[in-house]
C-alpha cells in the first residue's frame, strides 16, 4: 500500500484537491479516485461510533422498557427514540447516497436538539428524570459523546457535501473552490 | 467472575490498542498481528460468555442479570465489526477504528466485572 497523503486531517483540508480523505491525489496516474463519501475515511470512525451508540441505546431501552418501564416512562421512551435516531444516523452515514445523507442530517439535527433540550431539562427538573437516558445531563454518562458527536457528524456531512459539489462542478478548479 | 480471564482480555485489548496506535502513526493498514490479536480477544470473550452465562443466576436482581447478559453478548460484536471496517478502509482511519474498538472492549469488560462484583 502506498503512503497516503495526510488528507484525513481536517487541518490539511484546504491544501488538497477538495476531495474528502478517500481521495488519493498525490500521483497523477492514479485513476481510482473515489468520490467523497460520508462513510469512507474519517466517516468510518463516525459510522463505528454511531453503530456502537445505536447498539448501546437499543440494548438499554429494550431493557428499560421490558424490565421496569413504570419506573420512568418518559426517559425510557426518550432512550428508545435516541436508539432509533442512532440507527438512522449509522445507516445514513454508512450508505452515503443523497437520500441517506439527507436522512442522516435530519437524524443528527434531531439528536443535537434532543441532547440540548433533554440535557437542560434534566438539570432544571431533576424529578422528571429519575433514571438516566443517553441524553440526560448532556450525555454525561457517556463521556459527553452524545453532545459532541452530532456536531462532528454535521461538520463531516457539510465537508463531504462541499467536497463532492466542488468535485462535480469542475474537478480542475476544485482546489480553488475548497476553503 | 473469572478475574484472570478479565485480566487476559484487558492485557490483550491493551496490546491491540498499542498495535493499532503504532500502525496509525506509521500509516500502515491491517496486517496479521492486528487480526490475530483481535481473534485472540474474541476467543477469550467467547470463554467469558460461556462462564458468564453459566454463573449469571448468581445475580439475584433480574434487571442487573439482564444487563450482565446483554453486556456479555454486546462485547462480542465490537472486534469483528471494527476489523471488517478496518479491512475495507484504505486510509489511516482504519487503525483509528481498531484503536477505538479495543478501548470500547476494555471498557465493556471492566463494566462486566463491575456489575458482577456489585452483585455476585
Domain locations in chain B as residue ranges: 3-119
CA distance A115 to A138: 6
Chain A residue numbers with beta carbons less than 8 Å from the beta carbon of B89 are 40-41, 44
- CB-defined contacts A:B, below 8 A: 57
pLDDT at A31: 38
pLDDT tens track of chain B, all 120 residues? Answer: 678 999 999 999 999 999 999 999 999 999 999 999 999 999 999 999 999 999 998 888 888 888 899 999 999 999 999 999 999 998 989 999 999 999 999 999 998 998 888 875
- Do A45 and B81 count as a contact with CB atoms less than 8 A apart? no
Report yes or no: B64 at the A interface, CB cutoff 8 Å.
no
Give whole-number Cα distances, A67 to A31, A80, B56, B68, B119, in Å. Answer: 55, 14, 17, 14, 18
Q: Are the CB atoms for A64 and B109 separated by under 8 Å? A: no
- Do A48 and B85 count as a contact with CB atoms less than 8 A apart? yes
Which among B73, B75, B84, B64 has a CA at the least distance from the CA of B103?
Answer: B75
- Do A4 and B92 count as a contact with CB atoms less than 8 A apart? yes
Of A47, A55, A67, the CB nearest to B66: A67
Helices (H), chain B: 3-25, 32-55, 62-88, 93-119
Question: What DSSP line would sit under B66-79, residue for residue?
Answer: HHHHHHHHHHHHHH
pLDDT at A170: 64
CA distance A80 to B1: 31
Chain A residue numbers with beta carbons less than 8 Å from the beta carbon of B104 are 52
- Do A49 and B100 count as a contact with CB atoms less than 8 A apart? yes
ipTM of the complex: 0.85
- Do A48 and B100 count as a contact with CB atoms less than 8 A apart? yes
CA distance B102 to B110: 12
Q: Residues A89-100: pLDDT tens digits?
A: 999 999 999 999
pTM: 0.78
Amino acid at each position: 500500500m502506498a503512503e497516503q497523503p495526510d488528507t484525513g486531517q481536517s487541518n490539511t483540508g484546504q491544501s488538497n484537491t477538495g476531495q474528502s480523505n478517500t481521495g488519493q491525489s498525490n500521483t497523477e496516474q492514479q485513476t481510482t479516485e473515489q468520490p467523497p463519501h460520508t462513510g469512507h475515511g474519517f466517516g468510518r470512525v463516525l459510522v463505528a461510533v454511531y453503530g456502537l451508540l445505536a447498539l448501546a441505546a437499543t440494548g438499554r431501552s429494550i431493557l428499560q422498557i421490558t424490565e421496569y418501564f413504570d419506573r420512568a416512562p418518559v426517559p425510557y421512551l426518550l432512550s428508545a427514540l435516541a436508539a432509533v435516531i442512532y440507527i438512522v444516523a449509522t445507516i445514513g452515514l454508512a450508505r452515503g447516497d443523497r437520500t441517506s445523507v439527507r436522512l442522516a442530517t435530519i437524524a443528527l439535527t434531531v439528536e443535537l436538539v434532543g441532547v440540548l433540550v433533554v440535557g437542560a431539562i434534566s438539570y432544571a427538573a431533576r424529578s422528571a428524570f429519575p433514571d438516566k437516558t443517553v441524553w440526560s445531563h448532556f450525555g454525561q454518562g457517556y463521556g459527553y459523546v452524545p453532545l459532541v458527536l452530532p456536531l462532528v457528524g454535521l461538520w463531516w456531512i457539510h465537508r463531504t457535501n462541499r467536497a463532492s459539489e466542488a468535485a462535480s462542478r469542475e474537478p480542475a478548479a476544485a482546489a480553488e473552490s475548497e476553503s | 467472575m473469572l478475574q484472570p480471564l478479565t485480566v487476559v482480555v484487558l492485557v490483550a485489548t491493551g496490546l491491540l490498542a498499542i498495535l493499532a496506535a503504532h500502525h496509525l502513526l506509521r500509516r500502515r493498514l491491517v496486517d496479521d498481528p492486528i487480526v490475530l490479536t483481535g481473534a485472540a480477544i474474541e476467543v477469550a470473550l467467547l470463554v467469558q460468555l460461556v462462564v458468564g452465562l453459566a454463573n449469571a443466576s448468581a445475580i439475584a436482581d433480574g434487571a442487573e442479570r439482564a444487563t450482565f447478559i446483554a453486556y456479555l453478548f454486546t462485547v462480542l460484536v465490537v472486534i469483528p465489526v471494527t476489523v471488517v471496517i478496518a479491512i475495507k478502509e484504505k486510509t489511516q482511519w482504519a487503525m483509528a477504528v481498531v484503536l477505538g474498538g479495543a478501548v470500547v472492549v476494555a471498557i465493556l469488560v471492566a463494566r462486566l466485572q463491575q456489575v458482577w462484583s456489585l452483585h455476585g
